[in-house]
Amino acid sequence: MSGALAASKPSIEDKHRRQAAHMTTAYKHKQGNAPYPGALEQDESRMTTFTFRKPSALPGFGLTLGITVAYLSLVVLIPLAATFAKTATLDWAQFVRAVTSPRVLASYRLTFSAALGGALINAVFGFLVAWVLVRYTFPFKRVVDAVVDLPFALPTSVAGISLAAVYAGNGWIGQYLAPLGIKVAFTPLGVLVALTFIGLPFVVRTVQPVLEDFEREQEEAAACLGATRWLTFRRVVLPSLLPALLTGFALAFARALGEYGSVIFIAGNVPMKSEITSLLIITKLEQYDYAGATSLAVVMLCVSFLMLLLINTLQWFLQRRTSKTGAVPAIAGSLHVEGSKP
């Protein structure tokens, strides 16, 4: 017993040996040959206070902020301020009369309804196109992927002429729709077709990269928990893609509101029937009614801004909700609730 206790206690020689090693290390550290263990943490703490950040390729915050504000002012803020300033030359009665005439109200209804309808159609079919391009492999896939970008590359006038030629009464598609009593060209339906055509790439190109980065393991985990394909899509896939889908919808809607070139060739431009607000603004400019044209532009700008703000707020809410609640816990909770039902 006493031998074991004696063996467990450090001997005097071991203490002397450790003290000698400690003093030797301190001496070498003083000479600059080795670090001193007792002062190593102090040296490291001192060194961290003198570390320098790697210089960035971009200038500092103040300069970049100044460039950003100047660029946005020249490109966006000053032109919009000039529009409001020109509208301010009218009194309130003249402004109300300019923006609430029957012809103007008819153009508002057509423009916003066609833009909203085209964005909704693109949200559905653009999602399907992105899903097919990401999840499946088939011949000429790259060709189909390139065709999606054609509305980006085509001039709007070329797109309008092509759509009018295709959907006219004697066109490739119009000749089959005419016997059914469906007339597309030179009607409000033609406006919807044109706005759907130019808005499709916005939805596809915003959903496609998010779908490519989506982890398939989440779907496999949901399947292991007993979820059906529809439940997996509804509770796992769709919540992750919904913010990107809303972004594509907002971009397609905003693009459709300002479209002019492709619409005038297929709409017919009949007042009170197939005349969009952009065409009405051009008409007022040709009549040298600059204040009336800017009045319509201000109304379009304000309504568009409010709708886009609402969509972006909804997108932020969905992103925050998705980041807080994971997909697999949501699936587990859904299965628990469904399993508890009698």
For the stretch 221-245, pLDDT in tens is: 888 888 888 888 888 888 888 889 9
pLDDT at residue 3, as a whole number = 47
In sequence order, the 6+-apart residues with CB closer than 8 A to the CB of 327 are 218, 222, 235, 236, 239, 240
Summarize the confidence of residues 60-77 as an average pLDDT.
87
Q: Give me the torsion for CA of 14, 19, 25, 27, rounded to 10°.
A: -150
Tell me the HSE value of 307 on the side-chain side, using a 13 A CA sphere: 20
User: For 291-329, b where at least 16 C-beta lie within 10 A, e where not — what string?
Assistant: bbbbbbbbbbbeebeebeeebeeebeebbeebeeeebbe
Per-residue CA distances from 78 to 69, 298, 301 (Å): 11, 14, 14
Average pLDDT, integer, range 84-102: 90
Give the residue with greater pLDDT, 62 vs 135: 135
Gap between the Cα atoms of 298 and 300, Å rounded: 5
Q: Which amino acid is at 202?
A: F
Q: 52 or 231: which carries more pLDDT confidence?
A: 231
Can you give the pLDDT at residue 27? 46
Q: Burial, 18: exposed, middle or buried (Cβ in 10 Å; 0-12, 13-18, 19+)?
A: exposed
pLDDT attached to residue 1 = 45
CATH architecture of 94-340: Orthogonal Bundle (1.10)
Q: What is the pLDDT of residues 130-150, one digit of tens each?
A: 999 999 998 999 999 999 999
Q: Is the pLDDT of residue 331 over 90?
A: no
Cα 91 to its chain centre, rounded Å, is: 39
* Model confidence pLDDT, tens digit, residues 190-220: 999 999 999 999 999 999 999 998 888 888 8
Euclidean distance between CA atoms 112 and 118, whole angstroms: 10
pLDDT at 190 (0 to 100) = 92
**pLDDT, averaged across the chain:** 81
Report helix, strand or coil for 120: helix
Does pTM surpass 0.75? no
Q: What's the pLDDT at 34?
A: 47
Q: Does residue 7 carry a pLDDT above 60? A: no
Residue 339: is its pLDDT beyond 60? no
Amino acid 275 reads: E
Q: Determine which of 32-41, 218-227, 229-238, 253-262 has the lowest per-residue pLDDT on average.
A: 32-41
